Amino acid sequence: MMKFRFRRQGNDPQREKIKQELFAFNKTVEHGFPHQPSALTFDPQLQLMAIGTKSGAIKIYGSPGVEFTGLHRDTAAVAQIHFLQGQGRLLSLLDDNTLHLWELGGASRDRGEAKREGVVYLEEKRNYSLLGRPGLESFSASRVTVLLLLRSCDLLCVGTEGGGIHFLDLPRLSLRDNQSLLLDQVMQSVPEDYRCGKSLGPVESLQEHPQQPGKILIGYSRGLVVLWDLSTRNAEHMFLGKQQLESLVWERSGSSFISSHSDGGYSVWAVASGNTYTHQPVSSSIPYGPFPCKAINKILWRTTQSGCPVVLYSGGMPRASYGDRHCVTIQQDKQHVTLDFTSRVVDFFTVHTTDLEHDCDDPTALVVLLEEELVVIDLLTTGWPSVLPPYLAPLHSSAITTSCHLDNVPAKLWDRLAAAGKSQGTQHANGVKHAHGSWPICGGKNLAPPPKQQELLLTGHEDGTVRFWDVSAVAMTPLYKLSTANVFHTDCDPNDDPLDPNDDPEALQEEEWPPFRKVGCFDPYSDDPRLGIQKISLCKYSCRLVVAGTAGQVIVLGLSDERSDHTVHVSTVDLLQDREGFTWKGHDRLEPRASPAPFPPGFQPLVMVQALPPASVTAVMLHAEWNLVAFGTSHGFGLFDYHRRTAVLARCTLHPNDSLAMEGPLSRVKSLKKSLRQSFRRIRKSRVSGKKRPVPTPTSKIQEANAALADQEEVAPVQRRIEPRSADDSLSGVVRCLCFADTYLRDGTHHGPTLWAGTNSGSVYAYALEVPGVGSGRGRPGGPGGEVPGVGSGRGRPGGEVSGSVEAVLGKEIQLMHRAPVVSVCVLDGRGKPLPEPYQASLDLATAPDMTNPHSVLIASEEQLKVFSLPKVSAKTKFKLTAHEGCRVRRVAVVTVCSTAQEDYSENSLVCLTNLGDLHLFNVPALRPQVRYDCIRKEDISGIASCVFTKNGQGFYLISPSEYQRFSLSAKVITEPLCTVDLERPLEPHISDDAAMPLRANGTHRNQAEGLTEDPPCGLSSPPPLSPLDSPMSMVDLSLDTTGELTVEDVRDFLTTVDEVENNFRNITEEDGGSLGILIN
């Protein structure tokens, strides 16, 4: 048929080879803090820490960049984990009562390149299920409560709910027959008056004697503690405690041990030879008594050279007053600190000397795993300050609302951000200084090459902060934190100066008991939800940053190395422009400070633009070279010149039926009746929309031919007919995307600055801008990352003032055919490449765009991708993505993918993420499908919504509130852990295939997802070969296929006269009347 005239069947082998050298999908590393941690352990010999989660993941961390991840086959929570010290082996206990042995082993993996020798991976070796024996123990009685690995690492002691203890040989995980220690055997040695007909309860704690191997301390829930000799299988000593037991710990010499109890107290017991029974401890203490206290869940006793032991324990708070606090207490002599956390304590350990030749423990650091973060305390520095972690930072300290990625960050900007972040790090939120000591978890060796460029990931948060993260390598390190709250008067405003929060003398004089100290940065509560950051735009060359929030605030900031106190200039832009019939029912705007506010070194606000109504900002775009910022909400979009502090443009995009747009995200006044009525109307319209369609006037022969073909001929094999959306859908005026471009809009000979805006109703507005001084050096900075003068003073850039003001004139108004929301607008130069960023061409940091050949604009809606020529805005090529299984486009980006075979070869590709979680890549500008990958589960709506792409073919999306999954679409650019560990045992190399590939913590395989081709080295997924649309051809344009379309784009030109429009229309109909095309009104 005619519609397949220019398409070839089959695959081009040469093109397939090029695609294999360009594209490969890999989920590489998980950044952030593990979601729902449930277990913790530490190997003091290898200096490695392991964390288990409720989803069954095991994550091992060492020095920055050293990470190992494993996932149990069954989705069950990890209850306990223990290292076989020095061996690189790990035991995990799941809540389904199964034991699993993991091992760090060598592997040779081939991705079409050199084999990675020496790289170590984590994998499961064997497992064991401990079930109750028929007639002797029920399943509940055999449920494992505690594990003890002997220092020899050849025996595992397993305590159970029924009070029995079983013994397993390691590393085989085989049960020793007839050697289990049952409760009856222990009861025989218990004095008659202590039995009283009561059970001893579950085994709560097992501890090996620090000086005498083969002797273990067994603690039962009722309070009995037994020193058991494994060689003679006899009870050597019994400690007849009467308080419910929680935990046990040995003193290093083995002459005493400490027990913690459910009443909030702990006791010290002496281990004396000769006496079989001990009825009373040497000493007992309830630190936060005398009133009832909560249980001390775990206690550690560490000896020091000074002779004063360090006692650390969790819990024990007064039940009535502080029963809801999550605390860990540190005591040494007269020093007493209660670390107060904002989330539950999971477990903790100390980093100390384990060599038996030393007489003391001499702890150096305390590591506390909480439900939402990891906190490390320096025990060597006076005051016990916290240590800033180089990784495992809680990304969700306040909920993430948006993100933005920058690649190839200039060194000057990077250094200034790092310096600003370092000055913040020396001052904790509660006035306690951080320690600058070395990170105590420093095992393993990072084999990955140093990153070729510096990369930043910016995350906006609900509390009005923007956090800058170093994502250049595997470790995601916090670099700098910006807060916008001090620009406003918020509902909770403790003081005017966030730098000195503890300057209240009355608060310092009052001594609190317990001596609480707020530790950690996880704070899920926001002072005011209107502070939430919605959009971020940063120019890395001029150091200009724009952040936009939930209450319509758009803040332009500049980078400064000095602290400043100044008043922020405020301008308002009314997007409704006094339109009648619309009343804002949502939240009020934030009240800006009228007095000067203090701003620390870093990004400081220059000017704030307040959009009215104060709806959430849905799009923002910065062009620092023109000193312009564009922003959009659900009511329209505006353009602001922050150099002159004047509004340039305000355009309302509301439809008469956009009532929901006036209610706001925080409104509670939505009408159920109105929602139901609108739903029934949409259903009714969708049923009749296919029967009758109004024919637009004037009717052309082209449209009649298209309509006839649509009714008679079948649609393309991989496509289905799409019904047009109603024009009066609610929230149709939401601005989805904004774009600045220097291109041809007026005619084909004169180019200039333009602004493009796309809305939820499929409308695209193109404005021609008159920017004084463009091309004559206006606003040119001193260089990448250069100084920003006059922060807070309103002065512009160096180079002198340029007279005149920016003007905007509506040039084109495009209405897409199905009224699908516009996701992205991108202008392409004469070579079909995206235009460079501001300053890139003027600073010779990128190839200058081709301004001699005609430009084009790529408009991506939720349903299709389409390229239009400029300035006529005539359709060149398209791809109807929604016709494939009904998927909708959610995220779009143009990425540059480099070849693994040729250093100087790369291609620009358009990557689309759909609501089904799959990724589609197309070449630009021909829009030919290249590859498709399954990336995110379609049920993971938050993961799809949070996805952000990098310009070199990588991406990030949230797999939990606290974790980003990093992935790569490029066969060349892959950021993944490549590390090794020096083990006491030899590595066992093996070849890993797809079946044995270790699982990722998010439940997906480490390499490609399902449905890929059979070629594992390249990881390529080509589209189905039966589809004629998938033929891999050269980069030439496709002929436009309009078969099956029932509507056409409506383009209105506002820069030409009526006579010119008629002449253009006459020329088009004469030249193209014989072929299928589109009508331009």
* pLDDT exceeds cutoff 50 at 262: yes
Region of poorest pLDDT, from 343-352, 391-400, 890-899, 1052-1061: 1052-1061
Q: For residue 219, count CB atoms less than 10 angstroms from its CB and return exposed for 0-12, middle for 13-18, buried for 19 or more.
A: buried
Cα–Cα distance list, 79 to 54, 171, 289, 419, 962 (Å) = 8, 20, 31, 41, 21
695-720 tens-digit pLDDT: 444 444 444 544 444 444 344 445 56
> What would the mean pLDDT of 768-791 be, rounded to a whole number?
55
Cα–Cα distance list, 437 to 13, 332, 369, 541, 695 (Å) = 57, 21, 19, 34, 75
pLDDT at site 911: 97
pLDDT at site 721: 62
Distance CA 1052, CA 1003 (A): 50
- Going by their DSSP bridges, the two strands 602-612 and 569-574 should be labelled as parallel
Percent pLDDT > 70 in the chain is 76
* pLDDT exceeds cutoff 70 at 286: yes
pLDDT at site 675: 61
Percent pLDDT > 90 in the chain is 65
683 pLDDT band (50/70/90 cuts)?
A: low
* pLDDT exceeds cutoff 60 at 763: yes
pLDDT at site 119: 87
pLDDT at site 882: 82
* pLDDT exceeds cutoff 70 at 1004: no
pLDDT at site 720: 60
Residue 1009 CB partners (closer than 8 Å, separation 6+): 25, 933, 934, 935
215-235 tens-digit pLDDT: 999 999 999 999 999 999 999
pLDDT at site 102: 96
Highest mean pLDDT among 2-11, 178-187, 602-611: 602-611
Distance CA 478, CA 457 (A): 10
Task: Give the helix ranges, DSSP H, for 880-956.
Answer: 941-945
pLDDT at site 818: 85
Highest mean pLDDT among 194-208, 403-417, 424-438: 403-417
Residue 580 CB partners (closer than 8 Å, separation 6+): none
* pLDDT exceeds cutoff 50 at 1067: no
> What would the mean pLDDT of 15-27 be, rounded to a whole number?
95
Region of poorest pLDDT, from 287-291, 698-702, 1035-1039, 1047-1051: 1035-1039
* pLDDT exceeds cutoff 70 at 776: no
* pLDDT exceeds cutoff 50 at 1023: no
Cα–Cα distance list, 368 to 148, 336, 341, 664, 681 (Å) = 21, 17, 10, 41, 57
Highest mean pLDDT among 1-10, 25-34, 427-436: 25-34
Label each residue of 550-617 as H, E or C. Answer: CCCEEEEEEEECCCEEECCEEEEEECCCCCCCCCCCCCCCCEECCCCEEECCEEEEEEEEEEECCCCC
pLDDT at site 501: 43
* pLDDT exceeds cutoff 80 at 691: no
pLDDT at site 817: 83
Cα–Cα distance list, 401 to 83, 477, 503, 739, 959 (Å) = 38, 19, 33, 22, 14
512 pLDDT band (50/70/90 cuts)?
A: confident
Region of poorest pLDDT, from 17-31, 455-469, 786-800, 849-863: 786-800
CB 282 within 8 A of CB 270: yes
374 pLDDT band (50/70/90 cuts)?
A: very high
* pLDDT exceeds cutoff 90 at 998: no
> What would the mean pLDDT of 361-382 be, rounded to a whole number?
96
Q: In this predicted model, which residue has the larger pLDDT, 117 or 385?
A: 385
Region of poorest pLDDT, from 46-50, 109-113, 389-393: 109-113
Distance CA 965, CA 961 (A): 11
842 pLDDT band (50/70/90 cuts)?
A: confident
pLDDT at site 1: 43
551 pLDDT band (50/70/90 cuts)?
A: very high
280 pLDDT band (50/70/90 cuts)?
A: very high
pLDDT at site 225: 96
Q: In this predicted model, which residue has the larger pLDDT, 678 or 195?
A: 195
pLDDT at site 727: 59
Region of poorest pLDDT, from 405-409, 823-827, 879-883, 962-966: 879-883
934-945 tens-digit pLDDT: 999 999 999 999
Residue 189 CB partners (closer than 8 Å, separation 6+): 226, 235, 238
Sign of CA dihedral 734, 737, 741, 744: negative
pLDDT at site 619: 98
203-220 tens-digit pLDDT: 999 999 999 999 999 999
* pLDDT exceeds cutoff 50 at 1017: no
Distance CA 469, CA 302 (A): 36
Residue 422 CB partners (closer than 8 Å, separation 6+): none
> What would the mean pLDDT of 675-689 be, rounded to a whole number?
60
pLDDT at site 844: 87
Q: Which residue has the tokens 């490390």?
A: 376
989 pLDDT band (50/70/90 cuts)?
A: low
Cα–Cα distance list, 10 to 229, 548, 1023 (Å) = 75, 48, 11
Residue 65 φ/ψ region, left for φ over 0, alpha for ψ in the -120 to 50 degree band, beta for the rest: left
What is the SS3 assignment for 327?
A: strand
CB 633 within 8 A of CB 584: no
pLDDT at site 714: 42
Highest mean pLDDT among 56-70, 691-705, 1024-1038: 56-70
* pLDDT exceeds cutoff 80 at 47: yes
1054 pLDDT band (50/70/90 cuts)?
A: confident
pLDDT at site 798: 38
| pLDDT, mean over the chain | 82
Distance CA 484, CA 532 (A): 9
Region of poorest pLDDT, from 150-164, 500-514, 588-602, 695-709: 695-709
438 pLDDT band (50/70/90 cuts)?
A: confident
